[in-house]
Amino acid sequence: MAQRIQSSGAIDPDDITIAYLGGGSRQWAPNLIQDLAQSDLDGRVRLYDEYYESAARNARFGNWVQERDGAVADWSYEATDSLETALAGADVVILSTQYDPAETFVHDLDIPERYGIYGAVAATIGPGGIFRAMRTVPLYRTFAAAIREHCPDAWVFNYTNPVHFVTRALYDEYPEINALGLCHEVLGTRHRLARYAREQLDMDAERSDISVNVKGINHFTWVDEARCKGVDLWPVLEELRDGPEGHQTFTPEDLADDSVFVDHWQVTWELFRRFGVLPAAGDRHLVEYATWFIQGGQEGLNRWGVKRTGSDYRAKHWTPAESDQTTDVEAWMAGDREFELSESDEVFVDILAGLAGQAEYVTNVNLPNTGQVSDLQDGAVVETNALVSADEVKPMTAGGFPRPVRSLLRGHIDTIETVIEASADGDLDAAFQGFLIDQQIRTLQTEDARELFAELVAAQESYLQDWDLEEAAVLEEASAYPAE
């Protein structure tokens, strides 16, 4: 029986204090501000960020939004340069941070490519995902310890990738934390299923009409039941899988004008064909866990309709002048760009309303496994549906997996758990063991894996100060016995 998590501090819907760590966020924070403005909840948000001016900009934007037409809720925003001040007595903590991609993310993409590893996103598993975790997890241990001291009963919402590594680290540091890892990939799958219900069954359907039994780990989730207003969608999905919809191929030229976020679902259909359960995480993430699809480099990805998110995109997206991001709060506030209050597709406000007792709500969340997934390791962070109600979140029992899928999942969990254990005392050699058993790395000779690991460490050394680099045998070996 899966265990619920409960807070001893009730949330007052008319007086909520939110601490936002990473409050200088360029896209998620402005979206959140607009969602809160249109909610039935009131309160205050304290924005904390390493770059104080970024948090201050979002605070100005938040207070500016409160004066717009359609802003029916009562929220106030302030920036702070003190983690302790941000957290003091908070009811809710939001975690949403990222290091400069030009100094980190680009290496996660470019260096493995030289070893023949073409991660499509490189953010949650594989060499890029592991190094993102190694940069991020020590900071989140600090956050968890600070939450334990300043707001131990707060509800903590983690949006930072890699969600499973980071959420696991929060619980490893502070086992009594009330933390949820959130991701919108399953929501995207439900959007797509609603579209199939409209197109194939002529139903009036939207995301909220779709119910799925979801289970797995973040970005490698699976569905074995899908319904729209009670109607079983499985026969529709099997028909699409076996027909032309599920058998498309692509060339690089076909994808030239597509966004890097395009999702043609051809990896999804192929995995559904092979294993009988439907992936629910988007093809660009699935290929990094089901590594057959990244063999053959860019052309191999493109054949399945997947575009690689290259380092040039990541670097430009970080630079406001060159970015295609959808939010530009300075331009909105200055009147240089038209502003219209809109709602995001995220479910934070719905979950918060549920915790405040306004209405029960069911959605996918990432939590430690206490039985909700029957055949995966207890304590590992898994993603399933959960029932959110006043001051509690109860993960819903989702069952197990066919043996082949279970084998894939268990391997990735072993990688995650190994790196988390290593992070407790910064043991780089133990982290390399987790790196070595990753399913992308297994395509390499062990010496080449060691060289790749050492090269990634060297490129990002300033972001790995919480790891013992001086005593690491793996780095000494790479220097003394370089691979041929």
Residues recognised as catalytic:
184
Rounded to 5°, angle at Cα 383 from 150 and 152 = 10
Give the CA distances from residue 6 to residues 3, 154, 393, in Å, rounded to whole numbers and listed in that order: 10, 10, 7
Q: Which of 196, 226, 183 lies closest to 345, judged by CA? A: 183
Looking at residue 324, what DSSP letter applies? -
Which H/E stretch holds residue 21? strand 16-21
Alpha-carbon distance 254 to 454, whole Å? Answer: 37
- Parallel, antiparallel or unpaired: strands 75-80 and 43-48: parallel
Alpha-carbon distance 124 to 225, whole Å? Answer: 26
Alpha-carbon distance 384 to 309, whole Å? Answer: 27
| CB-based burial label for 363 (10 Å; 0-12, 13-18, 19+) | buried
Burial 20-56 (b: 16+ CB within 10 A, else e): bbbbbbbebbbbbbbbbbebebbbbbbbbbeebebbb
Q: DSSP of 30-92, one letter per residue?
A: HHHHHHHHTSS--EEEEEE-SSHHHHHHHHHHHHHHTTSTT--S-EEEEEES-HHHHHTT-SE
Looking at residue 140, what DSSP letter applies? H
* Lookup: tokens for 78: 């302030």
Contacts (Cβ under 8 Å, ≥6 apart) of 108? 119, 122, 123, 127, 128, 129, 131, 132, 456
Alpha-carbon distance 461 to 454, whole Å? Answer: 10
Q: Which of 4, 125, 93, 8 lies closest to 368, judged by CA? A: 4
